[in-house]
A and B are shown apart, each in its own frame.
Chain A
Amino acid sequence: MAKRYSALSLLRHALQPSSPWPRAWRSPAPKSSYDVVIIGGGGHGLASAYYLAANHGIKNVAVIERSYIGSGNVGRNTTIVRSNYMIGGNTPFFEFSLKLWEGLSHTLNFNVMLSQRGQIGLAHNPSQMDVLARKGNIMRLHGIDAELLDRGEVMKLLPYLDYSDAARFPVVGGIIQHRAGTVRHDAVAWGYARAASDLGVDIIENCEMTGFLMEQGKVVGIDTTKGRIRAGKTAIAVAGHSSHIAAKAGLRLPVESHLLQAFVSEPIKPLVHHVVSFGAELYYISQSDKGGLVFGGHIDGFANYSQRGQFPKVQTVAECAVSLMPCVSRLRLLRHWAGIMDMTPDGAPFIGRTPVPNLYLDGGWCYQGFKAIPASGWTFAHTIAKGEEHELNRCFSLDRFAKGGELDDHGSGNWTYKQ
């Protein structure tokens, strides 16, 4: 068992740099059977395992990860967390998630470095201001913080934007959620892994799931590169690979896998103190603790598992950056990379049961899956433990299209391949 981190343990290590920190989680060989096996050791898989053990006392659990913990999208995203969603279902879910983020470092005894620097969405014409006002009102009715900003207030907070008469998109105003911000993404994977492992969950890295074990139409386990593992319940949490894995159980999903890229500039002195999103395109920017400007935009736009971004997106995102902030035009791009994501017809996820007995699915996360990790893990664990949905994930069912329950939250930034 890992020792709890404390100010004293940090000090002791600082004074004895030669003694290494103990491993943060155990590295066991897989047992032949578990109560629950979770496929995918990303943020969602690890959080679900942790809440199964912590909230429901189900500790005979394995998380199977084909690579290493944190190698997937949990370590590839732009780390933004916020709860400024507008439609029923999304609003309470993402606010619950943000509340869990606010206590997560304490819960996990691992500093996930939540930085509530505030997220500002910009408006470039009066009708966009109306939309932001409506969104802010809906949020405040749900007890979520939101504040409308006029042009002068935006100029004070974000003096580096283009306010000249030549600006391609004039800034009319914006909206701020002060409690939104960023989280250290690797720490989320490491923190959940360590806390889950402490409670008895087996985290099995470098172990790929290769097929389902089916008996009388029910899933009773999985085959992996480390052998066969039987399971009472099996859960899929593989981010962009949901279709590929579900197909092995004969399931077709309302999902296309697409690439999303992220970009980091060379480090500069502190300039961008918030998370800022451009109202004229899907483009957003923040500054990392190391000084790099981190930015992202739209998906590449066609189904893809290759995890290699295409150049035209680099260009579009750079164009957005320069039209919003001309001062970055001579900054060099240090790195860009891509992650594979499930895109759904309405931009909302799936957390719940599937038509196949004993098989559960958490996927379809499109653009918003990082901020969702705590609430998704919490509600998915509830569904797996009880065999039925939590009130917060009932709306994310796989059959919502058949039932007319689409959750299309365009007003707050979910765009699907339909665009």
Chain B
Amino acid sequence: MLRITCPWCGERDYSEFRYGSEVKTRPAPGTGDLKTWHDHVFLFDNPKGPTREYWQHVLGCRQWLVLERDTATNAVGKAVPARDAASKSGAGR
């Protein structure tokens, strides 16, 4: 069973969480043409290997996290609060 260590609640089964999607950087509001927004909304890197993705601890503290995970092996790394990941401007691909 996949286990995720929530920074607030500790290690829990993944079924307490909701998967958000891979981490993408949203273009600033009011900027970019249609293609920029199309690519942001619809396209994914969907890597086979290490990735960073959003999860929400819906059945716990309801916080959004950024989780390191390997999609090929399911090995789970660290989860950090999503707002910290975003403020370090590391939320991009």
What is the interface of chain A, defined by CB distance below 8 A to chain B?
241, 243-244, 247, 252-257, 301-306, 308, 310-312, 345, 401-402, 417
Contacts and interface: CB of A to CB of B under 8 A. Distances in A.
A402 B51 CA distance: 26
Contacts of B13: 312
A304 B74 contact: yes
Contacts of A244: 46-48
A310 B44 CA distance: 23
A306 B73 contact: yes
Given A304-B74, A312-B13, A312-B15, A401 B46 contact: no
A252 B80 CA distance: 27
Interface residues of B, number: 28
Nearest to A311: B1
Given A310-B2, A402-B38, A257 B74 contact: no
Contact of A252 (B19, B35, B39): B39
A254 B2 contact: no
Interface in B35-76: 35, 38-39, 41-48, 51, 53, 55, 71-74
A244 B48 CA distance: 6
B67 to A, nearest CB: 10
A247 B74 contact: no
B72 to A, nearest CB: 5
B60 to A, nearest CB: 15
A385 to B, nearest CB: 29
A305 B72 CA distance: 5
11 contacts: A256-B46, A302-B14, A303-B19, A303-B71, A304-B71, A310-B1, A311-B1, A312-B13, A345-B41, A345-B42, A402-B34
B21 interface: yes
Given A257-B71, A301-B19, A305-B71, A252 B44 contact: yes
Interface in B1-30: 1-2, 13-15, 18-19, 21-22
A216 B16 CA distance: 49
Contacts of B53: 302-303
B14 to A, nearest CB: 7
Nearest to B73: A306
A401 B71 contact: no
Contacts of A303: 19, 21-22, 44, 46, 51, 53, 71
B19 A306 contact: no
Closest 10 CB pairs of A and B: A302-B19, A243-B46, A312-B15, A252-B43, A254-B42, A244-B48, A306-B74, A401-B42, A305-B48, A402-B38
Contacts of A301: 18-19
